[in-house]
Structure 1
Amino acid sequence: MSLSIKQQLIAQLDRILSAKLEALAASITSTQESRDSDTKSSAGDKFETSREMAQIELNNLENQAEKTARMLNELKQIKTTSTATIGYGSIVNTNHGTYFLSIPYGKLQLDGTTYYVISMASPIGQ
């Protein structure tokens, strides 16, 4: 495979994940502000439930942000040089599709070709 395709895949994934991380950061900030601005009313249970739901949402967003940041970091570890063996960072053509062994992302379109960006830990990746 051409190294330029691998570099293009990495660049596109970097853009997508960076945008997702920015959106998650904005959502985290908004959720924190919402949780912190919730005032205690005479209905104490309603206040506690509202704050707890906001905290659960905040925890979910933080977990997603951590996972996305970890995937971005893993993406930056990929070497763009060609190797003789299939491994992390390889692009593999099969009769079932073209796979980019890197991060667990899923289907990605590049120049009219569909690539399946999968983890080495996935059943197909192994």
Structure 2
Amino acid sequence: MELHTMKLKVHEVCLALIQSRIDGLNNELRGFQAAANEESKSSAGDKYETGRAMMHLEKEKVASQLNQVLKQQKVLRELHPERKSEKVELGSLLSTDQGLFYISISLGLIQTPEKVFCISPVAPLGAAFLGKKRGDLVSFNGKSYKIGEVT
């Protein structure tokens, strides 16, 4: 598959993964709300209050995770995957002798049918790739990455 076509597919998969995470976190939040609505104060007193406080903390943790994932979704939606570039920048897909990298958000390894590492431009390796072009060599953590095609 041509690299630019693959970039469009990788972007679609990233959006779908993020949407799936958003849906899952929203379901968890709805579950917390349903549990809170069904709860009635028991005679246990302190036990009830402790359980309620723990549930509130979990709900806050999930809400925070949702906020982070929504920020990732915003970054993805602001990218223009149809745009081509000669130098590595936010939104670039690049091939290296160590694999494929999509400079976007930190999702780790995804399968699209090729394995692609989705990394943030602020991650150390992502930052090392920025501004590089075909044929450049990037060294990171004792490993060398020879850049092939960039799109």
What percent of counterpart residues are identical?
A: 23
| Equivalence for 1:91 | 93
Deviation, 1:123, is 1.0
Matches within 5 A, 1:71-90: 71-80=72-81, 81-90=83-92
TM-superposition CA deviations, 1:14-52 (whole Å, max 9, x none):
111112211211110111121232222222110111111
1:40 aligns with 2:52: no
List gaps (5 residues or longer) in structure 2: 128-151
Aligned ranges 1:95-114 → 2 under 5 Å = 95-111=97-113, 113-114=114-115
Q: d(CA) in 2 for partners of 1:77 and 1:118?
A: 16
The AA in structure 2 aligned to 1:62 is A
Q: Tell me the secondary structure at the aligned position of residue 125 of structure 1.
A: helix
Counterpart Cα distance in 1 of 2:126 and 2:117:
10
CA distance in 1, matches of 2:37, 2:46: 16
**Number of matched pairs:** 125
- CA drift of 1:66 comes to 1.1
Under a length normalisation based on structure 1, what TM-score does the superposition of the two structures give?
Answer: 0.91
> Is the contact between residue 38 and residue 51 of structure 1 (CA under 8 Å) also seen in structure 2?
no
Shift of 1:114: 0.8
Identify, as 1 or 2, the structure richer in helix: 1
- Corresponding position of 1:68: 69
Q: Which runs of 5+ in 1 are unaligned?
A: none
Stretches (4+) displaced over 6 A: none
Contact 1:34-1:54 within 8 A present in 2 as well = no
Q: Distance in 1 between matches of 2:57 and 2:36?
A: 10
Task: Give per-residue Cα distances to partners, 1:61-104, cap 9 Å, x unaligned.
Answer: 11111111111111011122111211101112222221100001
